[in-house]
Amino acid sequence: MSEAHVAAVHRHEAPKSFIWKYVFSLDHKVIGKQYYFLALFSVFVGMLLSMLMRWHLVWPDAHIPGLHLLSATGAPSDQMTPEYYLSLMTMHATLMVFFVLTTAPQGGFGNYFLPIQIGAEDMAFPRLNMLSFWVTLAGLLVLISAFFVADGPPLSGWTAYPPLSALGSVAGPGEGLGQDLWIISIALFCVGSLLGAINFISTLLELRTRGMKLMRLPLTCWAWGITAVLALLSFAVLFAAGILLFLDRVGGTSFFIPGGEVISDRLITGHLGGSPLLWQHLFWFFGHPEVYIAILPGMGITSHILSTFARKPIFGYRAMAYSMMAIGFLSFCVWGHHMFVSGMSPYTGFAFSIMTMAIGVPSAIKTFNWLGTLWGGRLRLTTAMLFAIGFVSLFVTGGLSGLFLAQPPVDVPLHAGYFVVGHFHMVMGVAAIFAMFAGTFFWFPKMFGRMMNETLGKIHFWVTFVGVYCIFMPMHYLGIAGNIRRYSRFDQVNFLNSPHIIGLHEFMTIAAFITGAVQLVFLFNLFWSMFKGEKATENPWEATSLEWTIPSPPPHDNFAGKIPAVYHDPYEFGVPGAAKDYVMQDSPEAPTRGH
Amino acid sequence: MALGIALFLAFLTIISVYLFWAHVWWFPANIVTHGAAIDRQFNLTLIICGIIFVLAQFGLAYYVWKYRERGNGRKAIYSHGNNKLEATWTIAAAIVFIGLNLLGYRVWANMHFTGAAPNALRIEVWGEQFQWYFRYPGPDGQFGPVHPELMNDGNANYLGLDRAHDQASKDDIVTATLGIPVDREVELILRSKDVNHSFYCRELRVHQDLVPGMEIPIHFQTTDEALRNGEGGVPGRYEIVCTQLCGLGHYKMRAFLQVMTDQDFEKWLQAQAEAQ
């Protein structure tokens, strides 16, 4: 990991045949695109499920045209059953958390750009990289297959709390084969993520080119590196927990199932002494770092784009890098804030609460530094920049609501309600997806050699930005009013069955439909631009990092056999006395002052 | 474009703050002694977060508008940051966030770090897919043992009591409504027959999971306010809901809390005992 390290030593020849070039590729760029398209497919399926859920929530007896085609038992006469709502919710969350938020920013953009930004020809282990993708794809296919089993998809949520998830079909529909497939899918996903994490860490530490000191890494690389460490430590635990849950279901073990369970008047025999809370500890030991696995790459991408389009060095580079490290470390000390009312010791709850408030500090530092980066800049409001600005706004909004939930007494009235749903959708869902949109508009020219349409991009941005606030901000108000999450309909509880609550849900559903529809504009822009977009130059954004020193799209080995040397920090914009308003990292111009 | 962003962020901030400020959607009346402290901690958090929210969103809006590229040749400020500023806002954020948390310590401690008073009324709360049951120990003050193999909703032995053989079970009273006397400390012991559930009553400001294999205690005391309000125009009546996903009927797992005067409570409990 020395700065003088010779760049990527790995070489593999450019494949000739279609199948080796585009399907079983060892090229990190192709694998990055494969991850990206896997996430793109998942996000549209996940979004479609959320539209069906929103529809059902406000019109629970509505006939949704064609829904019976998806599931004859889940939607007889096109009317969604309560259990099918919960199944769609479970599949929506699983797709979004694992196959979108974990996959696109890291497996997609990280795979494509980490090696190039550090001056390497490829990832450290190309075959492992290919294997990571294919195992992840297998995980996705197994998950999707749960839609088509007789018992229906699982309904225990993406958190899969036992005993509901452990008892099998006696616990109700969706808890049979569908739940087994869910566990297998997640286990496969864990394997793919672990392999990917090893590859990212090795690549970042070992394949940096000459002059690429750690403190010259673009913040994206810091983010991908720290995310990989989190993935390595957390997915291993989820994998183990998943195996234990599977054994409880099929092997007669009792890790999570206590004795004396009676369900539907049937005594469950053969289990004794298990702890349902053990699962919650194991799950959230993974689950909270997972939140940062989703958002850290977004933080890196946002920092990178804000600096580029503000034409200013990033404000507080070191503070940005150290705060990501602090977030990474603290993310393993806060899992219990999901469990304040779980039955866990209230003393422990308070300790977790202190750590959770502490993790707000590095998050606040990042926000201050983003604002500091904009201060005194010359903002070029490209679509990528708009999404990065949107990220900052959403991160602030979603992050602040976390301060409520981090305090046990304040969590009491808000727990398991729409306040929580609004919070995490804002901060780890929408903010992270805004970073992905920003990354897509920013790096598309490099990935596909063409520019995306900026007019369509801005239309997409505006409707999405306004739309997500219309969908998710009201959830905070509903949560305060006591609106409980994971209810398939609200007409069985008097305080929910009121125009005051339902009316706001109707507003959110209409906003969701409009916001969902405009994503088709993005999809059109993406595919149209791939083939018809304006040809991209090598460095259309006048950016400074190494990916902008090579052709768009890059050649197979990235740097055409040359080993780049790095002389500058990654965000040297507006340098006084420089020939242009930016200095490329590999420019042999006199070194700049640096951070 | 910059003006649009700035105006939208400003509008968003103002409307969001207004909706919180005007309590358009808000907590229902508080009917317990510990509730005011929870509400105060929420309000304090709301004020602090509200100030940060306004400053951050307005700051973002202002910077986007003020520092937009105008094509006038102005150079961006060449700055890599400011260590004093970094230290200042790090320390400020740490003080505000951790300080806020410590202020909430007493609220949480009062709820959880001490048990219920010895003379508190003890009631078991049982959850099953998708029903609530409540058990009172009867005159002997003892809960009889439960026998899972005897649990059977079909023959109304919801909690598996063996009244024929267990002395302590003979006077146990099992109800579908949680009746409690006003202004007296109550200890609930939460238990589940099957999967996780969660006990939540908005007005009680009480929220606690029921976990099979565990007995989780929680205590509170209602105030006279409990009799001055009520769901559906019935004084003292409030809805209890399940908030932990427990299966397909989760959305309809509901029961009522009925707060009564001491005399009414004794009469009600007597009537429940006779109906066993």
The pLDDT of residue B110 is 87
Give yes or no for residue B72 having a pLDDT over 50.
Answer: yes
The pLDDT of residue A218 is 98
- pLDDT by residue (tens digit) across B233-274? 999 999 999 999 999 999 999 999 999 999 999 999 999 999
Of all residues in chain B, what percent carry a pLDDT higher than 70? 100
Strand, coil or helix: what is A282?
Answer: helix
Going by pLDDT thresholds of 50, 70 and 90, the confidence category of residue A593 is low
The pLDDT of residue A8 is 46
Alpha-carbon span A23 to A463, nearest angstrom: 35
**Selected residues 95-154 of chain A with any CB under 8 Å from a CB in chain B:** none
Closest residue by Cα to residue A118 from A217, A201, A30: A217
- pLDDT by residue (tens digit) across A359-380? 999 999 999 999 999 999 999 9
Give yes or no for residue B105 having a pLDDT over 80.
Answer: yes
Give yes or no for residue A527 having a pLDDT over 90.
Answer: yes
Alpha-carbon span A344 to A9, nearest angstrom: 51
Residue A88 contacts B, CB cutoff 8 Å:
no
Contact at 8 Å (CB) between A146 and A181? yes
**DSSP element (H, E) containing B134:** strand B131-136
Alpha-carbon span A295 to A289, nearest angstrom: 10
Nearest CA in chain B to A353: B101
The pLDDT of residue A265 is 93
DSSP letters, B61-93, are: HHHHHHTB--SS-PPPP-----HHHHHHHHHHH
Across the range A91-119, mean pLDDT stands at 98
Q: Is A172 left (phi over 0), alpha (psi -120 to 50) or beta?
A: left
Give yes or no for residue A589 having a pLDDT over 80.
Answer: no
This prediction's pTM: 0.96
Residue B156 contacts A, CB cutoff 8 Å:
no
Of A144-148, B75-79, B150-154, the range with the lowest mean pLDDT is B75-79
- Answer yes or no: is the ipTM higher than 0.85: yes
| Whole-number CA gyration radius for chain A | 24
- pLDDT by residue (tens digit) across A443-463? 999 999 999 999 999 999 999
The phi and psi torsions of A450 (rounded to 5 degrees) equal -135, 160
Give yes or no for residue A14 having a pLDDT over 90.
Answer: no
The pLDDT of residue A21 is 82
**Shortest CA gap A297–chain B (Å):** 21
* Sheet with B178-181, edge to edge strand ranges: B178-181, B254-260, B237-242, B197-201, B206-210
Collect all residues with Cβ–Cβ distance below 8 Å to B195 and sequence separation of at least 6. A161, A162, A163, A164, A167, A171, A263, B129, B212, B246, B247
Question: Are B112 and A346 inside 8 Å of each other by CB?
Answer: yes
The pLDDT of residue A402 is 96
Neighboring chain B residues of A274 at a CB cutoff of 8 Å: 213
The pLDDT of residue A293 is 97
The phi and psi torsions of A542 (rounded to 5 degrees) equal 55, 50
Closest residue by Cα to residue A564 from A121, A219, A217, A10: A121
DSSP 8-state assignment for residue A95: I
The pLDDT of residue A20 is 83
Closest residue by Cα to residue A565 from A242, A266, A211, A236: A211
Nearest CA in chain B to A490: B251
**Shortest CA gap B170–chain A (Å):** 22
As a whole number, the mean pLDDT across chain A is 95
Neighboring chain A residues of B52 at a CB cutoff of 8 Å: 396, 400
Alpha-carbon span A554 to A547, nearest angstrom: 8
Q: Which two tokens stand for residue A441?
A: 């508009």
The pLDDT of residue A7 is 44
Going by pLDDT thresholds of 50, 70 and 90, the confidence category of residue B276 is confident
Residue A346 has a CB neighbour count (10 Å cut-off) of 16
Q: Which two tokens stand for residue A154?
A: 């699982």
Give yes or no for residue A334 having a pLDDT over 80.
Answer: yes
As a whole number, the mean pLDDT across chain B is 96
Contact at 8 Å (CB) between B129 and A264? yes
Alpha-carbon span A374 to A378, nearest angstrom: 8
Give yes or no for residue B191 having a pLDDT over 50.
Answer: yes
The pLDDT of residue A6 is 46
Question: Are B38 and A412 inside 8 Å of each other by CB?
Answer: yes
